[in-house]
Amino acid sequence: MPRMWRPVTTNCCKVESGAVIGSLSSLSRCRPTRTEFSKTVTGMSSFRRFSTYSDVMSTSSSARFTEEQFGFAPGLVAFRVSELKAATHNFSSDYLLGEGGFGTVHKGYIDDKMRFGLKAQSVAVKLLDIEGLQGHREWLAEVIFLGELRHRHLVKLIGYCCEAEERLLVYEFMPRGSLENHLFRRISIGLPWGTRLKIAIGAAKGLAFLHGAEPPVIYRDFKASNILLDADHTAKLSDFGLAKMGPEGEATHVTTRVMGTHGYAAPEYIMTGHLTTKSDVYSYGVVLLELLTGRRSVDKTKPKNEEKLVEWVRPYLNTSRKLRYVMDPKLGGQYSVKAAKEVATVALQCISPHPKDRPRMSTTVDNLQALLNLKDMAGTTAHPLLLRQRPRPRQPRPMATRRSSHSAKTK
């Protein structure tokens, strides 16, 4: 049973040494006073202030600020805790949508009876767990990034709550949940090929938009569970708690503590902590493989040589003949052979061990969109489960079988 909402009494909003918005590290909670630092950045938009915060905080031992000083996007609604408790029936477990490192997410409902001018709609309310693995810095990152960045393939942030020590976020409600649930839950109905391609293109557009910002935004936690689907299976990226501003000027990367999800993180990022937009491209390639195969990026229930999806599936991505043995059996053989081969080619480029060989997300969008009109469905006549069987070398028949066959002929 998830724990019920309760008031918390801790300190609120202090920024220690280190880059705040560049790395969003060392951020605890306190009610601050205005400083010379905050005055110097008040005139900028909050999105452009990221770099300024990073530069100043790298040389400043301490700085304090409030959300008002930071200047959150004006379109966001500053909710009260009482309003969000009412919207979610006091954060009832009956309305629980999910739970993660940040805390719990509950379904709620808002309208103009709560606040004049509010659009009547279902919402998802994320409640910070003070004792959780993530905290105020992830909450702040989400408010800043999703408050400033608006795109059809990013989940919409409606508002936030920063009342006393409480930290909450209010998003548009995504009725079909996450891509992860559709791909991996045994009770789920398999996604048709056309829907998978639509999701892949939508997620690619979301990443391409982030990478095209100035400076670029590195998502850093691209995975199936962070891709949410609306009623029409339009893919939207969610959970920007680990997002980072990309390198500017002559810099080729940003260096940061390695964070993310095992199985999706790029190998060079894991080894060096060097983060670039190509780190996201690798993660995108892994999700493409999940869409093709219906397998998780890491699955400990599989045989040892099949646990890591990238390592296991790589040899099967070169030809259509090999690829059919690893296609998701839930597709029932109903997919475009040409499109699947092209998607596999794109995935293979994305998971290249050499970051420079990985394509830009804008190029990936163009390549995938070109596949939408391909109608050559595989329509296999074999049972779908046979597609799981990989080619094996022929084995000689046992001697006992040979004798039996010979005896049958001589009788």
Place of tokens 């909670």: 29
203: CB partners within 8 A, 6+ apart: 153, 222, 227, 235, 237, 284, 287
Please write the tens of the pLDDT for every residue from 5-28.
333 333 333 333 333 333 333 333
Dig out the tokens for 405 from the structure.
Answer: 């066959």
* 1 pLDDT higher than 90: no
* Whether 125 contacts 135, CB under 8 Å: no
Q: Do domains 80-173 and 179-388 have the same CATH topology?
A: no
The set of long-range contacts for 385-394, using a CB threshold of 8 Å and a minimum separation of 24, is 385/329, 387/324, 387/325, 387/327, 387/329, 387/333, 388/325, 388/326, 388/329, 389/325, 390/316, 390/325, 390/326, 391/322, 391/325
Alpha helices, DSSP H only, in 99-249? 136-148, 179-184, 193-211
356 annotated among ligand-binding-site residues: no
Mean pLDDT, the chain, rounded, equals 79
Q: Which residues are catalytic?
A: 221
Domain ranges in the chain are 8-71, 80-173, 179-388
Tell me the whole-structure pTM to 2 decimals.
Answer: 0.78
Topology of domain 80-173 in CATH is Phosphorylase Kinase; domain 1 (3.30.200)
- Find the mean pLDDT for residues 209-228: 94
Confidence label for 164 from pLDDT (cuts 50, 70 and 90): confident
* 304 pLDDT higher than 70: yes
Q: Is the dihedral of CA 79, 80, 84, 87 positive or negative?
A: negative
pLDDT score recorded for residue 128: 84
pLDDT score recorded for residue 60: 34
* Whether 208 contacts 361, CB under 8 Å: yes
Place of tokens 């900028």: 44
Q: What percent of the chain has pLDDT over 90?
A: 56
Dig out the tokens for 330 from the structure.
Answer: 């839930």
pLDDT score recorded for residue 397: 55
123 against 249, higher pLDDT: 123
What is the C-alpha end-to-end distance of the chain, expressed in Å? 71
* 186 pLDDT higher than 90: no
pLDDT score recorded for residue 378: 65
Topology of domain 179-388 in CATH is Transferase(Phosphotransferase); domain 1 (1.10.510)
How far is it, in rounded angstroms, from Cα 324 to Cα 322? 6
How far is it, in rounded angstroms, from Cα 262 to Cα 317? 22
